[in-house]
A and B are shown apart, each in its own frame.
Chain A
Amino acid sequence: MTSSALLPVAALMTSLMASVIIFALPEKNYRLRTLINLAAAILKLTLVVVMVWGVMQGREYEAAFTMVPGVEFVLRADALAMLFAGLSALLWLLTTIYAVGYLENSPNRSRFFGFFSLCVASTMGIALAGNLFTFFLFYEMLTLSTYPLVVHRGTPKALRAGRTYIIYTLTGGAVLLLAIAWLHGLVGDLRFQEGGHFADLAPSLEGPVTMIFVLLITGLGVKAALVPLHGWLPQAMVAPAPVSALLHAVAVVKAGAFGIIRVVFELYGLEATSDLGLLMGLAAVAAFTIIYGSTRALFQVDLKRRLAFSTISQVSYIVLGLCLFGPVGAAGGLVHLVHQGIMKITLFFCAGNYAETLGVHCIDELDGAGKRMPATSMAFTLGAFGMIGAPPLAGFITKWTMGTGALAVGMDWVVAVLVASSLLNAAYFLPILHRLWFAPQSRPWPEERRWGRLETSSWLFWPPMVTVVLTVLFGVFAALPFSPLSWVELIVLREVAL
């Protein structure tokens, strides 16, 4: 195996091996487990950075073999793959650090971290998958490895959420499998390629290919939480905070969104999708999801549930961006894959910190938390402003790019959606910020713990600090090379040759 094939395989195997070793370790072997976790996360981040550098230089990394007769297993690092792989490698490291602190002294940690690593291995596989078949393989692996994380606490509520989760995702998976098998029967094994495959499609295939597109998006839309397939996401909130953070920022919802990106850009091709009249339908679903998610978020009193509905809304920005039929809009959608990830993970880390340090779960218990935990609250505030789209934060870059993209192609109504959504975002985030900073503490904290010097355990303290700094940097330095925006522009130049 040449070194170019070795790198993507190694990136995948790092977390897979970490998972196997962690399962084999005894429960009480706390130090070794943490060491392996962190070592694997750092190693993987290094591998991804090397690949990003290589892809920038125009190098190809690919490993492939025939799995089932007629179908190949392909791992390939291209520019789009690196966008998602980079995000997941970086956030895995931070979430691992966070989870070590969060789960201190709780039972079943060996199981938790084993499946946690498996979950990240799946995400890596999804990023690197070179064809739809390989993508599906890891997509289902992700479903299976997240189930034990969702039901981790073993309470009736968690088990119920797990059941809902599994019914939604497995049914979605079955629909996706049907679509993939059908497509394979029609046109054979297609690798993802820049510009897609269906630019000049035979007229006789148009009908089936349109049907397949609808099935593909339905299958992927379950994980991407497109309305009305979003029902599992708010329920899955019972999972421990690091799991929610991972689920919302990189793993599950992003896997769905990333799959939609691959299908639209690299399987069908933007032009073909548009010619088949499919982009407008998708845009409408995405726009509706954006407004619906934000509206529902307004009425949630549980902090994590409010964030969950916010995710439903925000992930659809990515999908809406794709539908803007132009390089600028596409860039806006793609870059939100990263921006939403770091902003949302910041918010979830902070929500977890409030829960762990003060025992606060509901929004009306947050009064005065800004005084008790200023750094965490600062991070939360910046994350929230980012979500609203205040300049110069990362979220602003997304909305600005998408807005200009929409105007460039004459889809003015999208701007209206963006504005409405921003207003709704403000409406459900600003009251929280008001409580944090301006309302006096009205009652004792439900369950306070102290860790000495810092406002919370240092394992819990630093990860949100890092992500919030990134939120600012990605916004302020969006124009510099290697920022998410410039990377995305590189991708879009290759994808959309308009």
Chain B
Amino acid sequence: MTLWLMAGLLFTPLAWAVLTLLMDFRKGRVVTWLGMLVQLLVSLGLWAVVAGDGGFHYALGGWQAPLGIELRVDGLAVTFVLLTALVAAACGWHASIYLDPAKSWHRYFWPLYWFLWAGLNAVWLGGDLFNLYVGLELISLSAVGLVALGGQAAALRAAIRYLLAALLGSLAYLLGVALIYGQSGSLSLAGIARLTEQSGGDPGLAFALMLMMFGLALKTALFPLHRWLPPAHGIAKSPVSALLSALVVKASFYIAARLWLELGDELGSYALAQGMGLLGGTAVIWGSWRAFLQPKLKQVVAYSSVAQIGYLFLLFPLTWGASEAVSMQAQQGITLQVISHALAKAAMFLAAGNLIMSVGSNRVEALAGVSRFLPFSLFSFGLAGVSLMGLPPSGGFAAKWLLLQASLGSGQWWWLVVLLLGGLLSAGYVFRIYRASFVEDSDIDHFYHPPRSLEVIPMILALLSLGLGLAAESVLSIMALPFEEGGGV
């Protein structure tokens, strides 16, 4: 059973990718619809298995690391597999209606989309450093391809820039992996953690961890390494932007968080933890401010991602040397932030795409009258905005609440400033959009009305993100599913 599930999660997406590569857009679309259904079922199956029997380490095909692929199937991994299934399916469904089949290069959307999905699952489930690297590369390359799918010169420029940043990040990460392997002789995350626990911190290993963190921070677009993100996310097709902001940047952060939680106590330091937190905090303030100034709608949303990613890096200071309870609050808060941002940002990009299509311009001022004639798409955008601002009852609010508690609990009151000010600044750029849409300058409806199916998908995502706060307890219970330690060499 487990073998089938693992194969279903990691290898069937690759099969869909190859299959759709051989087809035109329309046939690829049909295959993808089928594939999405299969992936959703497999992901739910994984949840059922882990909820029933608890999490486990799993060596694929019986081969142990470093030769084989070691998987770590715990509650957190299940949470992210489910999130990916949900968000990727929504974006894929949207893309199948949104993309124009007449443009010949759009047929490449499907294979890239499936490679991306395979890479994401590989990262969520990966238990050894090298296979995490493989997953990360798969994600980066398909993401770059998806950005370039726009076809214009600007899209290509943004894609090249993204590629260079991603490659540099991967290189730094790989160097770190090599250093660790050289010193400890193990690639398994669990194995290295055991090793460092016995031998204590080691400057060589600590340097390797720093290198990996740098690479991952670059890929996650942490301030001041964020410059590649807004052009890439802003120019890509809306479903692509949604996938990138919702899932892709989270993959590199996920690896950084796993490394930190396993190795941080031994190899990290107060200064490193605070430094990461400080960069995150600056990202929140700077990203929100930049978002407020952007004249184009999708750039506003893209800079908002820079800001929202900043919150994630508060994980480092809030878990370093903290008590079990505080550390757990911080981890729960960050997990909720990842989920709620994924849902809200996907909703926002998809809704923004609909709005741009309707008004025929990507500028914020062009939204005048939208509130009157296109209330549905605006509503999705607005509800997603509530989650980004961290107002109740959204998931963003529940996340902020937990992070506030963790900051107070660990006596690091300075993060309160970031959390509260960040919320107000994000209200600044979200309300700028509302305000533009409430302007009444014409009594005639001259807008294009997108098909209802395009409008419904962002609405569903936005509602999920909004309601997440009310169900936070049950969502977090997936993350806390029991996990059997041991395994990994």
Contacts and interface: CB of A to CB of B under 8 A. Distances in A.
Interface string B388-429: 010111000010111011001100000010001101100100
B421 to A, nearest CB: 8
A462 interface: no
B369 to A, nearest CB: 9
Q: Which of B375, B392, B405, B472 has the most CB of A within 10 A?
A: B392
A68 B398 contact: yes
B332 interface: yes
Nearest to B369: A154
Interface string A171-203: 101100110011011000000000000000000
Contact of A181 (B375, B398, B404, B421): B404
Given A140-B392, A178-B420, A163 B431 contact: yes
A159 B405 contact: no
Nearest to A162: B435
A151 B435 contact: yes
Contacts of B329: 69
A110 B374 CA distance: 12
B469 interface: yes
Given A69-B473, A73-B470, A166-B431, A177 B440 contact: no
A155 interface: yes
Nearest to B333: A68
A177 B371 CA distance: 30
Nearest to A181: B404
B193 interface: no
Contacts of A154: 371, 438-440
B375 A111 contact: yes
A463 B386 CA distance: 35
B476 interface: yes
B371 A67 contact: no
B408 A136 contact: no
Interface string B447-483: 0000000000000000000000110110010000000
A68 B434 contact: no
A144 B438 contact: no
Interface string B361-391: 0000000000110010001000000100101
Nearest to A73: B470
A71 interface: yes
A69 B435 contact: no
Contacts of A415: none
Interface residues of A, number: 38
A177 B408 CA distance: 13
A82 B404 CA distance: 32
Interface in A65-112: 66-71, 73, 107-108, 110-111
A148 interface: yes
A70 B392 CA distance: 16
Given A136-B392, A184-B405, A185-B409, A69 B439 contact: no
Nearest to B378: A111
Contacts, number: 92
A71 B401 contact: yes
A377 B228 CA distance: 65
A148 to B, nearest CB: 7
A157 to B, nearest CB: 12
B420 A141 contact: no
A174 B391 contact: no
B371 A170 contact: no
Contacts of A71: 401
A154 B372 CA distance: 10
A263 B308 CA distance: 33
Contacts of B398: 67-68
Interface string A152-167: 0111000100110010
B431 A185 contact: no
- Looking at chain B, what size class is its interface with the partner chain? 35 or more
A68 B401 contact: yes
Q: Is the interface of A mostly helix, strand, loop or mixed?
A: helix
A368 to B, nearest CB: 34
A178 B424 CA distance: 13
A140 B391 contact: yes
A137 to B, nearest CB: 4
Given A148-B438, A178-B416, A185-B409, A170 B473 contact: no
Contacts of B393: 67, 137, 141
A68 B402 CA distance: 8
Nearest to A133: B401
B326 to A, nearest CB: 10
Contacts of A136: 392
Nearest to A163: B435
Nearest to A177: B420
Given A67-B473, A166-B427, A181 B435 contact: no
A142 to B, nearest CB: 11
A155 B440 contact: yes
A72 to B, nearest CB: 10
Contact of A170 (B379, B424, B469): B424
Contacts of A137: 392-393
A69 B470 contact: no
Given A144-B391, A184-B405, A69 B476 contact: yes
A23 interface: yes
Contact of B401 (A107, A111, A181): A181
Given A69-B473, A140-B391, A166-B427, A182 B435 contact: no
Contacts of A155: 440
A161 B420 CA distance: 23
B76 to A, nearest CB: 16
A143 B389 CA distance: 13
A185 B408 contact: yes
A170 B431 CA distance: 11
Nearest to B399: A68
A354 to B, nearest CB: 25
A147 interface: yes
Contacts of B416: 178, 181
A405 to B, nearest CB: 36
Contacts of A147: 431, 434
A230 B255 CA distance: 48
Q: Which of A68, A73, A148, A155 has the most CB of B within 10 A?
A: A68
Interface string A45-69: 0000000000000000000001111
Contacts of A184: 405
Nearest to B470: A67
Contacts of A159: 435, 438-439
A213 B420 CA distance: 18
Contacts of B434: 147-148
A177 B400 CA distance: 10
A182 B413 CA distance: 10
Interface in A10-38: 23
A114 B473 CA distance: 30
B431 to A, nearest CB: 6
Contacts of A177: 400, 404, 420
Q: Which of A67, A108, A159, A173 has the most CB of B within 10 A?
A: A67
A71 B386 CA distance: 21
A238 to B, nearest CB: 13
Given A154-B440, A170-B427, A141 B473 contact: no
A148 B391 CA distance: 16
A69 B472 contact: yes
Given A163-B431, A174-B423, A108 B371 contact: yes
A174 B408 contact: no
Contacts of A162: 435, 438
Nearest to A137: B392
> Which are the 3 A-B pairs with shortest beta-carbon distances?
A154-B440, A185-B408, A137-B392
11 contacts: A70-B405, A147-B431, A147-B434, A148-B371, A154-B438, A163-B431, A170-B424, A177-B404, A178-B416, A181-B404, A181-B405
Given A144-B391, A181-B416, 5 more contacts: A23-B375, A23-B379, A68-B402, A68-B473, A140-B391
